[in-house]
Amino acid sequence: METLKIMNPATGEILKEISCHTEQEIKLILENGQTGFKKWAKVNAHERSRLLKDWARKIQEHKAELAEIITKENGKPLSEAVGEINYATSYIDWYAEEAVRIYGRTIPASSETKRIVVSRQPIGMVAAITPWNFPAAMMTRKAAPALAAGCSFVVKPAEETPLTTMRLIELAHEVGIPTDVIQYVNGQGPVVGKLFTDSEFIRKITFTGSTPVGKVLMKNSAETVKHLTMELGGHAPLIIVEDADLDYAVSQTIISKFRNAGQTCVCANRILVDENVIEAFSEKLTAAVNKLTVGNGMDTNVDIGPIINEKGFNKIVAQVEDAVAKGAEVLTGNKYDVNKEQSSFFVYPTVLKNIDVSMAIMQEETFGPIAPIISFKTIEEAVEIANSTPYGLAAYFFTNDYRVGMYLHDHLDFGIIGWNDGAPSAAHSPFGGMKESGLGREGGIEGIEPYLETKYLSIGNLV
């Protein structure tokens, strides 16, 4: 039987070995999900809302336990894991409220004997594929609107971090959300992904992960014309305008860049600084980065945990080496703590200067604690550099000049923009990307729409 060994990336300790579901088991889970959907779609919205609120409450009661699971399987510092549980809960709270606000409408008809009524219905069974970097929040960001809308839900968590998802789903069952309405499947991505895309029962796939995998899911979903939400890669620019408050901008850059050791889709990946303030900004950023501590996320006062695996680590090192070979200056970092035997890979937070657009670090997502600084002369040039990749997820800029701010807002091709804000994500806001960063939005009032079908009824022959 195929198994997954769940490993603590800080220590190499095997936390648990779990069985992968077989093809037959997965097919049965999907059949159950279809039965679950038929029942759940008929549960009234107030009851769905109540059950979601109970789930949120239960998660909060188990916050310490869940945070520890996240830190052990993902590596992020415990304080960040606690923050993630709160963030994950906020999606359930938000969509518990939205469940009772799924409104239809009436349309004035062109004849006195007709009425037209528009109603919203749950789309069907939803399959989610979630990443290892936010094992709790990326699951609830999908499950909560699906369940609120009346859909059943099955999730394949990342092979590295299934334990958080499994525990969250157990808690959902404990509060009374039926076992066939929310389920998980463990297995290898390509195998489970294909069973999901081939399934006649699944009406929607929602995925957070890399752009290449998203493209495969999109292609494979074409056969059964599934609805899709794709939260794909990012390569966020962070622009420091000449007039920016540099101390404040540095503090927000630290939040954006180094959360989860830089392993987020929205983290600042390319730091663009006006040439007139680049020296001052680089100095201040380097001083702040030098205060960050690296280590096991379970230890107190650790800011930067391990990189999830060797593949991720090798990509980071290759980008830094490429940049240095092409003339980048290392202001701090470029230091590693590696124990290959126990598979633990730590990268010290690194600041690089003298970056240019020919370097791989300016073209590809990094997913690590590396801050490359590139200079610009004009706002137009900053926008051109920022928009010059296929990605369009998040962008940040720092200025107190409202005209420059609005110019940047209008010209940056990104779905999420932080203006003097390094942490724009929130359950009540529509998270999602443009270009090859994805399709659709999660969070906010937009986030429930992809789980609903629109149906209209035209009644004739009235008196």
| Interface positions with ligand SIN (CB under 6 A) | 133-134, 208, 264-266, 425, 431
Residue 40 or 431 having the CB closest to ligand SIN: 431
Q: In angstroms, what is the minimal distance from the CB of 88 to ligand SIN? A: 10
Phi/psi region, residue 359 (left: phi>0; alpha: psi -120 to 50; beta: rest), is: beta
User: End-to-end CA distance of the chain, in Å?
Assistant: 67
Q: Is 231 designated active site?
A: yes
Alpha helices (H) in 183-276, listed in sequence order: 189-198, 211-221, 246-258
Q: Is 267 designated active site?
A: no
**Catalytic option among 73, 231, 365, 442:** 231
Which residues make Cβ contacts (< 8 Å) with residue 42, sequence separation at least 6? Answer: none
Q: What is the per-residue DSSP string for 1-63?
A: --EEEEE-TTT--EEEEEEPPPHHHHHHHHHHHHHHHHHHTTS-HHHHHHHHHHHHHHHHHTH
Residue 33 or 415 having the CB closest to ligand SIN: 415
Q: In angstroms, what is the minimal distance from the CB of 423 to ligand SIN? A: 8
Q: In angstroms, what is the minimal distance from the CB of 172 to ligand SIN? A: 21
Which residues make Cβ contacts (< 8 Å) with residue 83, sequence separation at least 6? Answer: none
Phi/psi region, residue 395 (left: phi>0; alpha: psi -120 to 50; beta: rest), is: beta
* Residue whose CB is nearest to ligand SIN in the complex, by number: 425
Q: In angstroms, what is the minimal distance from the CB of 356 to ligand SIN? A: 26
Per the DSSP assignment, residues forming a β-bridge with 417 are: 395
Residue 209 and residue 214: Cα distance in Å, rounded? 7
**Catalytic option among 151, 265, 267, 449:** 265
Residue 4 or 138 having the CB closest to ligand SIN: 138
Phi first, then psi, for residue 110 (nearest 5°) are: -90, 10
Q: In angstroms, what is the minimal distance from the CB of 266 to ligand SIN? A: 5
Residue 21 or 141 having the CB closest to ligand SIN: 141
Tokens of 456: 């209209």
Residue 196 or 367 having the CB closest to ligand SIN: 367
Q: In angstroms, what is the minimal distance from the CB of 165 to ligand SIN? A: 15
Q: In angstroms, what is the minimal distance from the CB of 10 to ligand SIN? A: 20
Residue 59 and residue 227: Cα distance in Å, rounded? 29
- Nearest CA-CA partner of 265 in 429, 128, 132: 132
Residue 294 and residue 305: Cα distance in Å, rounded? 6
Residue 455 and residue 117: Cα distance in Å, rounded? 8
Residue 122 or 214 having the CB closest to ligand SIN: 214
Residue 88 or 125 having the CB closest to ligand SIN: 88
438 membership: H or E segment, kind and range? strand 438-439
Let me know: does 185 contact 22? Beta carbons within 8 Å.
no
Which residues are part of the catalytic machinery? Answer: 231, 265
